[in-house]
Amino acid sequence: MKGSIQLIITEFKLFFRNYVNLFFTIVFPGLMLVLFGEIYGNAPSKLFNGYGTIDISTPAYCAMIIAVTGIMSIPLSIVNYRETKVLKRYMVTPVRVSNILIAEFVVNLVMTIIGILILLIIGKVIYNIHIRGSILAFAIILLFCILVIFSIGLLIGSLASSTKNANAISNTVYFPMLFLSGATIPAELFPSKIDAVSKILPLTYVVKVLKGIWIGTAIDNYIKDLLILAVIFVICITISIKKFKWQ
């Protein structure tokens, strides 16, 4: 137990030293919220079926935060540990190598939640955002979405042969999802061709479900989307388990 706690503390220190991930997890979503808030305000809009721009964008920015930690942080950390033989060294110590993955998951989960809480505080203080759906339902779906996106990161970390390779794959996956899923630019503004492309991106379904639960739409309307995310999770975890290499 003591070893696991020490690993988690170490992982927190390493996360805070990664200024890029820290910026995009903690600072960037709030900046986006303020930027679009100052441009469009939060008055009811016909484009968003009577909801304010910030009210409807906030859950989408939550998805952005999940993508940063899940796609950019987790796989690079795992591959770096493998490449520098950290995982191999831990195999001859009393500490289980799997504890590193648990610590990595816990730290990124906590930082994701912190980033989302900061985003919500900024939205509430400046634009008086409010969730119209169930807070509990939103929290549960949010956790599920985090697990799905984290599983994609684990898959990348399992398949990538080097840090350089992992970085290339992560960027290739992350940036199209960032801009074409509705996580930054509202999906309501997409032309039909872009909208069609967005449907092949896992983050699109995360954004859609989070936005729907946020505004109070019944979860029954998103069964198909949740099933798609569940299938993605199972596939990614299954392949990751089979292909994961400690050294």
Q: Output the pLDDT for position 207.
A: 96
d(CA 150, CA 68): 10
Q: Output the pLDDT for position 26.
A: 92
Reported residue count of the chain is 247
Torsion from C-alpha of 32, 113, 188, 28, nearest 10 degrees = 20
Cβ neighbours of residue 231 closer than 8 Å, sequence gap 6 or more: none
Q: Output the pLDDT for position 3.
A: 56
Q: Output the pLDDT for position 111.
A: 94
Q: Which residues of the chain have pLDDT under 70?
A: 1-4, 86-98, 246-247
- Cα–Cα distances (Å) from 236 to 107, 158, 166, 232, in that order, read 20, 10, 16, 6
Q: Output the pLDDT for position 110.
A: 94
Q: Output the pLDDT for position 93.
A: 62
Q: Output the pLDDT for position 41.
A: 82
Q: Output the pLDDT for position 185.
A: 85
Three-state secondary structure along 57-105?
HHHHHHHHHHHHHHHHHHHHHHHHHHHCCHHHHHCCCCCCCHHHHHHHH
Q: Output the pLDDT for position 83.
A: 82
Burial class of residue 176 (count of CB atoms within 10 Å of its CB; 0-12, 13-18, 19+): middle
pTM of the prediction? 0.90
d(CA 182, CA 195): 9
Q: Output the pLDDT for position 192.
A: 86
Residue 25 in tokens: 């997890």
Structure letter (DSSP) for residue 52:
B
Q: Output the pLDDT for position 1.
A: 57
